Each structure stands twice: as C-alpha cells, then as structure tokens.
Structure 1
C-alpha cells in the first residue's frame, strides 16, 4: 500500500491543526525523553576506561580534570540551548541542527567547516561504536573460554564476524525514520549504560573488599624501567583526550532539543535536561573512575570488562559486555540519525517530487521508504 509523501502528510497535519509553529508535525518530546537522549549519547563504554585515565594522571590531576570537563560541557551546552531559536531564544526561528545554528550566527565559510567537522565526528564515532561493540561481543566468547580452559589460555577471537552482526542489526534500526522516534531506543540504551557501569562498580568494590586492590599514586604511573618519559607524556595526553571524549555530545544537542514540545519553551526544558543528563553522567563517571582506580591501581586496564580486569564471576562479566553492546546499538542511532536527516533533506531539495525519495509504503504498522532503505543500508 502506498502512502503519500512526507510533505503531503505535513500539509494534512497543518490543515488539521496538529502542527508546530514551523508547520512540522507536532513534537512530543519531554524532559524525560531528552534527558534519556543526553545520557544515551554521553555515557559510553568509555566510562570503563576512566580508571586507566586516573592511572596515567594520578589523583591530583585525574579527579579534578573529570570535574572540570563536566562543568565545561554543562556550561557550553547551556549556552548552546539558546541557539535553537534565533534571534530570540524563545520565539525566534528554529535551527534544526548544529550546522543551521552556526550558519545563522556565524555564516559563510565557518558554516561549511562546521559541517565537515560535525559529520566527520559523527561518522567516526559511529565507526568507533561498531568496533567497541564487536570487542564486547568477542569478550563474551573469550570470557566463556577463560572459564572453561583457564586464565592462561590465549582464547584469541577475531572481531570481524561481530562487526558484521552489529552492522546487520543497525541496518534494521536505521529504518527508524528520524530522531523524533528514538525515545524508546534511548531509554533502553540509558538503562543499559547504568547497568554495565553498575556491574563494573560492583566488581571493583568486591575486589577492594577482598583486599586484592593495587597501589595508586598522586601523579599516576611514575617514569621508570617500565615507563619512559615519552610514554608517560603520550599516555597522559591520551587520558585527557579520553576524558574529554567521554563528555562529548554537543554536536547532536540541537537535534535532541528539536524533539521537544513547543511549550514550555524548549531552551528552558533542554537546560534542565542537560543538567540532569550531564550531572548523572558525571556522578557515574566519578564513581566508576575512583572505584576502578582503587581496585586496579596503576595496573588498571584500558577497559576492565573487555580487558579482563575481572575474570569471575564470568557470567556477570558477560552480562556487563552484553549491556555494552545493547547500549551502543542505541547510541549509534542517536549519533548517526542527524547525518541521515541531512543527507535525506538535501536529496529531497535536489530532486523534488522524486517518488523513489519521497514515497512511503505502509507494511502493517511500519512505513518503508525505498530511498531510506537503500542508502542507509549501504
């Protein structure tokens, strides 16, 4: 069964009065859904590497740096929420994404540079999510192998198959038409992120309570026989980069804000969402980083679930890695959907009236668009 194009639907919605001030279908996002989006994007499996970051930087630099990046991220996001509408942050014209906000406020060449930077970051991050998910899937198999054959067994596993599995699942999830319909995915992803972080915290506490924790230090791993000055400097900068990346999500903030209902004002609700999302994420980061560092000390692995800081109980480690995969499946969509939207909107403007691009087909409760199906799969 054929369905009218999206533009036809919007016209019908306008006629029925079920539309926002920009003529688009009425948005239904709330404080809860946008907070979930924020946490789904901010909290990644990188939380499990923060103990390693503290091992490189030590207590004096590492912990304050975690707090500093949280404050910087929160403050810049609060400023960015007022850029959703221009020139007035409450009644102005909507800027649907980060690029539009840059174009309105800075314009010209800076707008193009922003687009290159933003979408390169989104594509790169999504590729990173695919690789990380594959590593976590492989870690489940390795964990079972270690449990059966001992910790000294190599249990080497290739990740290629798991990358393909992740990609196949994302092909299906990528058929979700737009960011506005990702609420459930983001809620599930957020729950999973707290689940695997909680498992990491529980295992760290158990290790500390068991009296097997390792030595920590004020300045991190010291230069010595096992660490050259160059390695120390490189690892320190890598740790700072990991912490900064752990908080990055501003490149999709306006897309998240664009899902909010018109009333109360979007910028006010989004500021609360940023405060909740970044606050909860920062608290979780602090707990995971500090307890992980106390548990492993300067021997902290890059990821204490996939790096096998813990071997037992193997089933709990497996659950943690499965939660990582489920979370990244959802976070991948939250990151890549804005890029999908840009390409599809550009295509509609480039070839207006093209049935292949605009026509929707109804199959049961689902809407299929051939262009969306084809290009998102590729």
Structure 2
C-alpha cells in the first residue's frame, strides 16, 4: 500500500484513533538528526515525572472544597481532557512534506510554527515560557516546604505537637536553587532519562505514603469525614473563590502538553512515535489518576473540613514521624528531576536562538572539557553555565517573594490550561487532518475547546483572588 493509500485509508477511521504511519527516520524541522533511543517506558517515566509533582499534594484540599461528588468527578474529567489533548498533540509531531515525505518537530513551539504560522508562535511562546518558568517557581516553593516539614516533624516528635517549631523557607529555597544550578548543566532531555526514572520512583513513593496515611487515619477515625457540598464558608462569594481555586489546582496537577512533543522527540522509530507516545500517555494518566483519587479522597476522608492545603506538610499527620520525613525527602528528590523536565525546553529555546544569531561565537558554541579524578568527564559550555545559572537564581528569587503554595499552583494551572493544553493542540489537529469548518469533528472539538475555556477562566479568577488575599493578609 502506497503512502497516499495509507493516508486515504486513515481518513475513514474515527476521530482520535487514526492508525500511525510506519515511516523511516526523517529530519527535524531545524534540519538536525539526533540519536533517539527512548521507548514506552522512558516516555512514561518522563510523563510521570512531569505530571505527579507538587500538584498531587494539593488534591485533598481541592476535594475538600468541591465535596464528595464534584471533587472526584473533576479529577476524572480533567484526566479525560488530558488524554484527549495528548492524543491530538501526538499526531502533530510529524507533518507531511513533499521533499522528504514527513518532517519531525522536536518541540511544541516548532509544531505550532509549522502548522499555524509565525503569528501563533509568538502567543504560544509567551504562554509556554510562562508555564514552564512558573512550574519551576512552584517546584522551588514546594521543595522548600517539604524540607522545612522534615525539620518541623522532627521538632514535633521531640518537643510535642504543641511546640512552636516555626522555621522559614528562604534557606531551603536557596539550597534547592544551588542543587538546580548543578543539575541544569545536563545538556538536554536525551541525557536525563536516569533522572526522570529516579524522580518517577520518588513520586510513586510519596504518593503511596500519602494514600496509605490517609487510609490509616480513616480506619483510626472509624468514619469518613467530609460532605457532598465540601467545606462550609462564611459567604457564598468565599465558596465560589475556593471552588475556583480548587479547579485551578486540579488543572495544574494534570496536563503535560507543554512538554509532550519534547518527550516524543526522544522516542526511537519504528514503531511510529505517535503510537508509542499514545501508549505512554494512556499508561501515565491512568497511573496518576489512580494516585490522585487515592490521595485526594482519602485525604479528605481523613480530615474533612480541616484538610490541609499540602497533604504531607500541613501536619494533619504527625506520626510515624520517620515516615513523614521519608515522604518529604522523596518529594524533594522528585522535584529535583521535575524542575529539569520543565526547564529543559526553556533552555533549549534560548540556546538555539543564540546559536542562530551568533553562529561564530565561541562563548555560545564552544564546549570545554574538565576532568576531575574519580568523576566522569565534564563538558562545560559558557552560555549554558551563565544563562542556566541566572535562570535558576531568578526562579528562586520569585519563589521567595511569593511563597504561597495553593494559590501559585491554582494560578499557573488556570493561566496555561486552555491555551497550551486545549487551543493549540486542537488548532494544529485541524490543520494536520484538514478538518473543514462546521463539519461534525470540527463542531465537537470546538465545543470541547469552549468548555475548557470557561473552566480555565473560572479557575483563573478564583486563583488571582486567592493570591491577592494571601499577599495582603
């Protein structure tokens, strides 16, 4: 069967389940070839590292605001939205090209540029860089809270639960920043599979501990706390703000569209990259949804209206203190990898731009080898060293200025959920599949996009109000 016949046959297959083409390796849209060795499991590890992050710790609080029906249902709805978005985006990794048959797009922005043009790439670039940068800030905040929680847990164990045990976050943010300055010298995604696998193991560990502690506390209480309507507030307006912020937190916890194509570009072919990526996406979302429901529901069942904003650091749990310490240590180790997963695309965009602007600069393009006894050979690039160090310092400084966990997560989730997870993937899919306006598939996907826009706007308003209230209080 010729390639034209395969494409014609694909048009008969229902929306979102098109058969992938078996294609030979092709150049990326920047003309470069890279050795790609990734598979379903490495892609799943990258996704889980990016998805199960600090967002999972806020889901019990989100469930408490929404109640027993709306809370779990919201998580399932966002899981479904994430899978649909991921499947749309997977099919946008390759584009037909007369000369080479198909061309690969190594990044989200390259795919937008090729499919939607230069005007769209500026809008997409702003939202993508805000999303990635904001996630790095959120991870810095979360890691500091977890490191402080270890010290606080030990203090409570020694001094009693009524002891003040108050500690600041600044020192821990600076410590996390120092670690990230070192880790940021990893050249790109293809060199950090080991870090993603380690981070994935850590995420499973602390999510399992959060679920187990919640389950144990429910058994100890001998009843399930909470209600259908969720936490009661003094006014209807306050309830609306809290519900909106909870939706923003859930929106932050799920999507990974902003790094999906970067992950897909690490996959070997054959089998086709979109086929492998869809399997990895389905596996990762099912796993994360299971942990999210367990942590969110059992956390709410254990604490009811008193559910803390961060399940493992809000100190509903005090004992066994060593297990709390271990869980928070796992969070920190996971966030070390998660920070890199979300920061590497930012590094790649800036460094590629510099290389194109000044191709003859030694500062930009030359690498220097440093050999330290008993350690692997280090290759240092001066641009990479300077830019990435400044980037880490800026995220650390902003985290110290706005150390508000739930509010920051909600704002980031609401701000970037619709444009990056829904709008651009849908529009690129229209171009890829040549879907005409007002056809059945066009109406379905546009309705889907409009619904997600409304949810995003509601969550954005509530999260901004929460951040302003916290800053003024």
**TM-score scaled by structure 2?**
0.73
- Counterpart CA distance in 1 for 2:222 and 2:309 is 19
1:202-221: per-residue Cα shift (whole Å, max 9, x none)?
Answer: 11121112126562111112
1:280 equivalent in structure 2: 287
Q: Stretches of 4+ moved more than 6 A in 1? A: none
1:33 pairs with one of 42, 54, 59:
42
1:53-72: per-residue Cα shift (whole Å, max 9, x none)?
Answer: 11111112111111010001
2:406 equivalent in structure 1: none
Structure 1 position 258 matched with structure 2 position 258: no
1:47, distance to aligned residue in structure 2 (A): 1.1
Residues 1:25 and 1:105: Cα distance change in structure 2 (over 3 Å): closer
Corresponding residue pairs, total? 356
1:91, distance to aligned residue in structure 2 (A): 5.2
Q: How does 1:50-199 map to 2 (within 5 A)?
A: 50-87=59-96, 92-199=102-209
1:303-324: per-residue Cα shift (whole Å, max 9, x none)?
Answer: 1211111011111111111111
1:304-353: per-residue Cα shift (whole Å, max 9, x none)?
Answer: 21111101111111111111100000000000000000000000001012
1:324 equivalent in structure 2: 331
- Range with bigger deviation, 356-365 or 193-202: 356-365
1:355, distance to aligned residue in structure 2 (A): 1.3
- Counterpart CA distance in 1 for 2:268 and 2:323 is 40
Unmatched 5+ stretches in structure 1 = 1-18
Residues 1:261 and 1:160: Cα distance change in structure 2 (over 3 Å): same
1:302 equivalent in structure 2: 309
What is the DSSP-based 3-state SS (H/G/I as helix, E as strand, rest coil) of the residue aligned with 2:369? strand
Structure 1 position 315 matched with structure 2 position 322: yes
What is the DSSP-based 3-state SS (H/G/I as helix, E as strand, rest coil) of the residue aligned with 1:93? strand
Residues 1:20 and 1:181: Cα distance change in structure 2 (over 3 Å): farther
1:368 equivalent in structure 2: 380
Kept in 2: contact 1:51–1:290 (CA 8 A)? yes
- Counterpart CA distance in 2 for 1:144 and 1:60 is 37
1:116, distance to aligned residue in structure 2 (A): 0.4
1:52, distance to aligned residue in structure 2 (A): 1.1
- Counterpart CA distance in 2 for 1:215 and 1:331 is 33
Residues 1:27 and 1:123: Cα distance change in structure 2 (over 3 Å): same
- Counterpart CA distance in 2 for 1:91 and 1:52 is 50
Kept in 2: contact 1:85–1:91 (CA 8 A)? no
Residues 1:79 and 1:91: Cα distance change in structure 2 (over 3 Å): farther
Kept in 2: contact 1:58–1:220 (CA 8 A)? yes
1:42, distance to aligned residue in structure 2 (A): 0.6
1:97-133: per-residue Cα shift (whole Å, max 9, x none)?
Answer: 1111111121132210000000011001101101110
- Counterpart CA distance in 2 for 1:229 and 1:146 is 37
Kept in 2: contact 1:293–1:300 (CA 8 A)? yes
1:203-256: per-residue Cα shift (whole Å, max 9, x none)?
Answer: 112111212656211111234xxx321211111111111111100210010000
Structure 1 position 206 matched with structure 2 position 216: yes
- Counterpart CA distance in 2 for 1:60 and 1:374 is 50
Kept in 1: contact 2:211–2:291 (CA 8 A)? no
- Counterpart CA distance in 2 for 1:139 and 1:63 is 27
- Higher relative contact order, chain-length normalized (CA < 8 Å, sep 6+): 1
- Counterpart CA distance in 1 for 2:203 and 2:76 is 20
- Counterpart CA distance in 2 for 1:213 and 1:373 is 55
2:254 equivalent in structure 1: 247
1:298, distance to aligned residue in structure 2 (A): 2.1
1:165, distance to aligned residue in structure 2 (A): 0.4
Kept in 2: contact 1:179–1:334 (CA 8 A)? yes
2:4 equivalent in structure 1: none
1:371, distance to aligned residue in structure 2 (A): 1.5
**TM-score scaled by structure 1?**
0.91
- Counterpart CA distance in 2 for 1:96 and 1:25 is 10
Kept in 1: contact 2:370–2:378 (CA 8 A)? yes
Kept in 1: contact 2:47–2:281 (CA 8 A)? yes
1:44-97: per-residue Cα shift (whole Å, max 9, x none)?
Answer: 122122111111111121111110100010011001001111137x95211111
- Counterpart CA distance in 1 for 2:348 and 2:77 is 33
